[in-house]
Each structure stands twice: as structure tokens, then as C-alpha cells.
Amino acid sequence: MTRARGQLAMASVVSGLASGLICGGLVSCKPSPRTLTVGAAISLKEPMTAIAADYEKAHGKHLELVFGASGELASQMRRGAPFDLLCTAGDEPALASSADVRCTVARNTLVLVRRKGESGAPATWDSLAATAPSFRLAIGLTPQVPAGVYAEQALRSLGAWDAVHDKLVRGTNVRHVLDLVARGEADAGIVYATDVSVRSDVESLGAVPERASPKVAYPLYLARDASSESRALADYLCGPDAARVLSAHGFLPP
């Protein structure tokens, strides 16, 4: 009898797994929590990880986070990658036919950075046009990396673009730009203000002058055929709890 009951219990578990259920023993059987996949600009890594942990604890949903360059993530979503939501660091026209912007979750600003401990006079936003021929400036690869797009806009507004465009070193995402500066492969770099706080080996040389500051925004994209679970998560990411976490990590309100 014991062996027969054991075989029955095992059959119940196997049947449950095959049907997407998690079963325990002979009487407890419940649907497994659905995983929601969220793509996000890599500059959001720290706050989005914290927000996901809060959401999982409060709502019992597992969130899988995928970070990278916004343009690359948007291209993947357009080609069918199973993102329930995508939060980018700028507008992504590639998603216009399949997703809508649910809200802007936060804003940011650009800063000029260099490796901490470097000797010599640091570059400034207003001196970039007068840097030596050997000077190297790291910015994000365009158009895949919004930080690179914003950097180009700022440099053009400052009248420095013609002087620096042959001195550029391109990063595959904004965190790669930080790596280039930290390793000494670039004399300075342009990143978001929030990126500086996650590294101890780089330092800010100041925010972009207001007259040249682009409007850095983080739109949240939601597929038009999104499930109710995805829409509930979107509401949370657009709400006050997520906003408090973003603010604590230095992001500006929408």
C-alpha cells in the first residue's frame, strides 16, 4: 500500500509539472507563478533590480530582468523577443507599430567624467573643442545607445562636435563608456549622472550646461496585446512606489 501511494504521489507531481502546475503531495496543487520578462536600459540596472524585488515580494510574481543598450533591446522586442515590458532611455521608433508608451518613469542628465586620480587639468564641457589631437572622448554608439545620441546633441549644441568627432571612442552601452574611461582608454566620457554613483574609479567633471542639456527621459513601452499581469506591472512601474526607488538612486522625476 505504501508503495502504491508513493507511485500515485509521483504521478500527481509529474502530471502537475506537465500541465504547468506545482503540486505538493496528493492534495495541494496550484498554478505556478508566471514569469514576467522586463527589458530595461542598463543605466536602470540598480533601481530596476530593487523595484523587481519589491514587486515580487508584494505580488508573488517572478520578474526576469534583461539589461542592455536600449536600441538593441527594442530591436529584439520588435523581432519577437518575449518582453512583457521594455523601459528604454529614449524614444524607440522601432516599437511604434507594436507597443505604446505607458508612461515616463524618470528623467536623467548627462555628466562629463574622467578616471579618478588622474593628474593634470581636467577637461570641461566648454573646453572640449580645444582639446589636443591625442585626446579621446568616450560616448555611446549611436543610434543603439541613447546616451550616445544625447551626447552628440549636447556636443553639437556646444559647438564642439566638429572638433571632437574624430576623437571619439564608442561604447556599446553607457556602462561600457564608463569602463573605457576607468581603464584609461579614453581621457573623458559622457554618461548619465546616475551612472557615476555606481563606480568608485571615475569622477564627475560636471553636468552638461543647461543651454545644451538634452531631455533625457525613460519611457515605458507596453505591447498592445499585453496581458492583464503585464498591465498591472506597468501600473506599478509608473506609480509612486517605483518612483521612490528611482529617486533614491538619483533619477529625476518625470
Sign of the alpha-carbon torsion through 225, 228, 234, 235: positive
Do 207 and 140 lie in one domain? The reply is: yes
pLDDT tier for residue 33 given thresholds of 50, 70 and 90: low
pLDDT of res. 121: 83
Residue 13 located in a structural domain: no
Looking at the structure, tell me whether residues 204 and 233 fall in a common domain.
no
Does one domain contain both 63 and 134?
A: no
Q: Looking at the domain assignment, is residue 242 inside a domain?
A: yes
Give the whole-angstrom CA distance, residue 76 versus residue 35: 18
DSSP 244: H
Is the residue at 20 inside a domain?
Answer: no
* 43-79 pLDDT tens trace: 999 999 999 999 999 998 999 999 999 999 999 999 9
Residues 201 and 234 in one domain: no
Query: What percent of the chain is predicted at pLDDT more than 70?
Result: 87
Please tell me whether residues 130 and 201 are part of one structural domain.
yes
In a domain, 17, yes or no: no
Helix (H, G, I), strand (E, B) or coil at 238: coil
Q: Which domain holds residue 81?
A: 35-107+218-248
**Which CATH number belongs to the domain containing residue 181 in this structure?**
3.40.190.10
Residue 122 and residue 206 in one domain: yes
Q: Are 72 and 121 part of one and the same domain?
A: no
Q: Is the same domain home to 187 and 131?
A: yes
pLDDT band at 129; cut points 50, 70, 90: very high
pLDDT higher than threshold 50 for residue 249: yes
Does any domain span residue 79?
Answer: yes
**Phi-psi region for residue 184, left (φ > 0), alpha (ψ -120 to 50) or beta?**
left
pTM: 0.84
Grid cell locating 119: 593628474
Averaged pLDDT of the chain:
88
Mean of the pLDDT values across residues 162-184?
97
Do both 92 and 140 map to the same domain? no
Regarding whether 164 and 222 lie in a shared domain, the answer is: no
Tell me: do 136 and 207 sit in the same domain.
yes
CB of 154 within 8 A of CB of 139?
A: no
Amino acid, single-letter form, for residue 132: A
Q: What is the pLDDT of residue 34?
A: 74
Q: Where are the alpha helices (DSSP H) in the chain?
A: 2-18, 45-59, 70-78, 146-157, 161-164, 174-182, 193-196, 228-237, 240-248
Provide the pLDDT for residue 149.
97
The total number of structural domains in the chain stands at 2
CB-based contacts of 227, cutoff 8 Å, min separation 6: 84
